[in-house]
Chain A
Amino acid sequence: MGTISIEHGDRLFWLGRYAERVFSTLKALEDLYDNSIDSRPKCYTDFLAKFGLADTYGSAKIFFDSFIFDKENVNSVAASLERAYDNGIVLREEISTEALSFLQLAFDTLEKAQKSAKGLRLSLLPLEDILFGFWGCVSEYVYDYEIRTIIFCGKSVERLDLELRFKSDFGKVQHEFERLCRHLRNVPKNSPYRYNTGQLCRLVEILGSEEDYLKLSDKAITSLGKLFEAEKIPVGVNV
């Protein structure tokens, strides 16, 4: 093998992003759920605010139902999983039948959890294991270094984006940013996943100190979104 087309590159990147989105969203919702049990039943509105959404749900139960199971809700775990699967299905020979089967399993588990009489978190427990299984397969079976790099770039970009949106602890953000930089270093030149130097520099600046991070996290999100924009090559040089 060792030859990746633009289309497959794109699919790999978005597979990484969506698979990570499934996991991060699930984790965030579980924390939120835990919070809503006793201390703040309406805490889910904070979550909605981070996406710039109004509370049209009315109750925590309806909110969790929608954000976990409703495929029509583009921000839900189910919708992200569906997109991860759509990208994965055309990557069987790159990521392995084994890895792909975990995405199918995740679907089935989500469906079962929705119908389950058990508590929400208990019924979702296997889903986390399955997602770890998926990433385990990717680590285990994807030998091609470039393929791995693209998937993990997608994964890291997604995670960092969510950490920034949720204004996570600076330490966590720093860890994720370091991880992203490691992956970026492995991207070959001329690849669509070659970083834009300007945007990366901005990220380095903003995420260099906790003070800047707290002030400028919105700007960091913007730069992250443009991280793979084609570099503008200056036409003339002013001396």
Chain B
Amino acid sequence: MKTAELNKELYSSPVGNAEEINELLRRYGVKFGIYKNGIFKEQLFPFDPIPRIITHDDFTDMEKGLVQRVDALNKFLFDIYHDKNIIKDGVIPENFVYISSGYLPQCEGITPPNNIYSHISGIDLVQSKDGDWYILEDNLRIPSGASYPLIARELTRVASPAAFSSNSIVDNRNYAKLLKDTMDYSNCGGINAILTPGRYNAAYFEHSYLAELTNSVLVQNDELFVEDNVLYHKTYTGGKTKVGALYRRISDDYLDPLTFEPQSLIGIPNLMEAYRSGNVAIINAPGNGVADDKGIYYFVPKMIEYYLGEKPVLKNAPTYLPFYEEDKEYVLKNLDRLVIKDVAEAGGYGVIFGSELSDEKLENMRQTIINEPRRFIAQEVIDFLDLPILDDGRQVMRKADLRAFVLSGEQTKVWASGLTRFSRNPDSFVVNSSQGGGFKDTWVLSR
């Protein structure tokens, strides 16, 4: 059965009481730190009690497509930092790779443990009205969000056990085990540690919760040091404990002030030397941003064919690269109904809907695209399948996407759940949590 054919009633039934569950989420500290006018505030990430439901059949297809996609992306990353055959063979134009801000020449020739670059991949998908799933973007740097549906499930099972006994729902609480296995598989000997920029980071709850569940040590940079190219955790008795896998939740630029941004105050000096020497796994590997670049996205279906010799199972949203003359012409002509994305921006920023622009702004945009064709991609607006949400007790339909989590350890596995984010604003297509949206649990049916 396809998700689009689901029984309407099941599809729109709230599980438990929204207020109760939000109250529980608050109690367990599921908060989201934000800065408003320079002041740090903790906000709840609003939970909607109507779950997104994915049928067993849909998930099986999706799983195949996601495993294939992430395997190809990992092979691409290995290739780019070694032989670069995909460029030599003319599948991807050279400058798409080397202009990308995610490409780091400092990682050339480094082979991460087991050749895995993207251990935790967050792949954003949307479902169209005709039921097809489209890939919206790949997030391979430090995708966040798995902890929210994870703890929400724990709490909805408490609040509404009946919903789970009467439906066959795959238990998603294995995420911690998947994550721990992934860390253990790449671990170079030593403890697993999660590196956080600190309590004032928006995703701090997630960092600390995942540390608790995977029995990892939660660390900040000043608790670590590199000596003789080995990464250590400094203990309070003056000793040191070797770190074998570092699940870092800070971006590449800040990772090692002696290799990258020298002004970084949250990095670990000489971490790259420890990594290069094979003494520690960095999860996810530095430099993998080159594969989730919005410009590279266009080439992922080609990558799947190139590296795996397979047809892509999941579709990309129809995308145009103004870099190609033919595409540029199309984009300039149809700008008023396309979505334009600035390849350098993330988190829902730099996304422009042509339909919302005045004639004057459209013209400006056209000029910008002509001047900097490599900076943008353009996509057809997908007619999303809206999901029901409760707004003040009333059911309304809103845009939503799905971030699926794919973990690459001994095998590549898709977590049978995901983060469904929705936009509170009826007219908005942007669902990012940093832009004020909420989230739902994502159910995968077991039959």
B212 at the interface (CB under 8 A from A): yes
Q: Which residues of A sit under 8 angstroms from B237, Cβ to Cβ?
A: 188-191
| Given known A-B contacts A92-B209, A93-B212, A3 and B235 have beta carbons under 8 A apart | yes
Q: Which residues of A sit under 8 angstroms from B300, Cβ to Cβ?
A: none
A104 at the interface (CB under 8 A from B): yes
* Size category, B interface: 20 to 34
Cα of A213 to Cα of B29 in the assembled complex, Å: 44
B383 at the interface (CB under 8 A from A): no
* Size category, A interface: 20 to 34
Q: Which residues of A sit under 8 angstroms from B199, Cβ to Cβ?
A: 89-90
A interface secondary structure, majority: helix
Q: Which residues of A sit under 8 angstroms from B191, Cβ to Cβ?
A: 1, 3
A62 at the interface (CB under 8 A from B): no
Q: Which residues of A sit under 8 angstroms from B208, Cβ to Cβ?
A: 89-90, 92-93
B interface secondary structure, majority: mixed
| Given known A-B contacts A5-B219, A5-B233, A97-B212, A89 and B29 have beta carbons under 8 A apart | yes
B234 at the interface (CB under 8 A from A): yes
Q: Which residues of B sit under 8 angstroms from A97, Cβ to Cβ?
A: 28-29, 209, 212
Q: Are A4 and B236 in contact (CB under 8 A)?
A: yes
Count how many pairs of residues, one from A and one from B, have CB atoms less than 8 Å apart in the complex: 72
B218 at the interface (CB under 8 A from A): yes
Which of B215, B219, B222, B236 has most chain A Cβ within 10 Å?
B236
Least CB distance, B264 to chain A, in whole angstroms: 19
Q: Are A4 and B29 in contact (CB under 8 A)?
A: no
Cα of A142 to Cα of B408 in the assembled complex, Å: 31
Q: Which of B202-225 contact A (CB under 8 A)?
A: 204, 208-209, 211-212, 215-220, 222-223
B36 at the interface (CB under 8 A from A): no
Interface 9-residue window, one of A6-14, A22-30, A159-167: A6-14
A105 at the interface (CB under 8 A from B): yes
A96 at the interface (CB under 8 A from B): yes
B26 at the interface (CB under 8 A from A): yes
B238 at the interface (CB under 8 A from A): yes
Least CB distance, B388 to chain A, in whole angstroms: 30
- Pick from A3, A9, A188: contact of B233, CB below 8 A: A3
Cα of A23 to Cα of B222 in the assembled complex, Å: 33
B241 at the interface (CB under 8 A from A): yes
Q: Are A5 and B29 in contact (CB under 8 A)?
A: no
Q: Are A92 and B27 in contact (CB under 8 A)?
A: no
Cα of A190 to Cα of B237 in the assembled complex, Å: 5
Q: Which residues of A sit under 8 angstroms from B238, Cβ to Cβ?
A: 190
A192 at the interface (CB under 8 A from B): yes
Q: Which residues of B sit under 8 angstroms from A108, Cβ to Cβ?
A: 27
Q: Which residues of A sit under 8 angstroms from B233, Cβ to Cβ?
A: 3, 5
| Given known A-B contacts A191-B236, A191-B237, A100 and B223 have beta carbons under 8 A apart | no
Q: Are A4 and B235 in contact (CB under 8 A)?
A: yes
Binding site for A on B (CB under 8 A): 26-29, 191, 199, 204, 208-209, 211-212, 215-220, 222-223, 233-239, 241
Binding site for B on A (CB under 8 A): 1-9, 89-90, 92-93, 96-97, 100-101, 104-105, 108, 188-192
Known: A7-B220, A7-B222. 20 other contacts (CB 8 A): A1-B191, A1-B215, A3-B217, A3-B235, A3-B241, A5-B233, A89-B199, A93-B216, A97-B28, A100-B28, A100-B29, A101-B27, A104-B26, A104-B27, A104-B29, A108-B27, A189-B237, A190-B237, A191-B236, A191-B237
